């Protein structure tokens, strides 16, 4: 009886932890440095999940804004899905 209660508690705790912990995405990691090239490109060093080495990403300011809006839309969509699953 105690073993069943213990197992159920572990399963519920694991499910709650997974629901509360958002899945990190490498593209949404905050940028560390920002540099503007003579070509109008903005370069940022971004952290990569699972690596200590940041990667350099270069895009125009307009592309950065589009990416930011896209990332925000993805987060909003995921939150709506999670809310719908909870009922």
Q: What is the pTM of this model?
A: 0.55
| Per-domain residue ranges of the chain | 24-86
User: Quick check: 6 and 19 in contact, CB under 8 A?
Assistant: no
Give CA separation, 23 vs 44, 60, 78, in Å. Answer: 22, 27, 10
CB-CB neighbours of 17 under 10 Å: 9
CA atoms of 47 and 53, how far apart (whole Å): 7
Is the pLDDT score of 23 beyond 50?
no
The 10s digit of each residue's pLDDT in 47-84 is: 999 999 999 999 999 999 999 999 999 999 999 999 99
Q: Would residue 40 be called left, alpha or beta, if left means φ above 0 and alpha means ψ between -120 and 50 degrees?
A: left
């Amino acid at each position: 009886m105690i073993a069943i209660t213990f197992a159920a508690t572990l399963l519920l705790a694991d499910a709650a932890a997974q629901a509360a912990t958002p899945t990190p995405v490498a593209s949404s990691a905050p940028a560390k440095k920002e540099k503007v090239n003579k070509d109008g490109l903005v370069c940022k060093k971004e952290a990569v999940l699972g690596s200590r080495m940041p990667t350099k990403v270069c895009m125009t300011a307009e592309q950065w804004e589009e990416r930011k809006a896209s990332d925000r839309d993805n987060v909003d969509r995921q939150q709506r899905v999670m809310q719908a699953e909870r009922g």
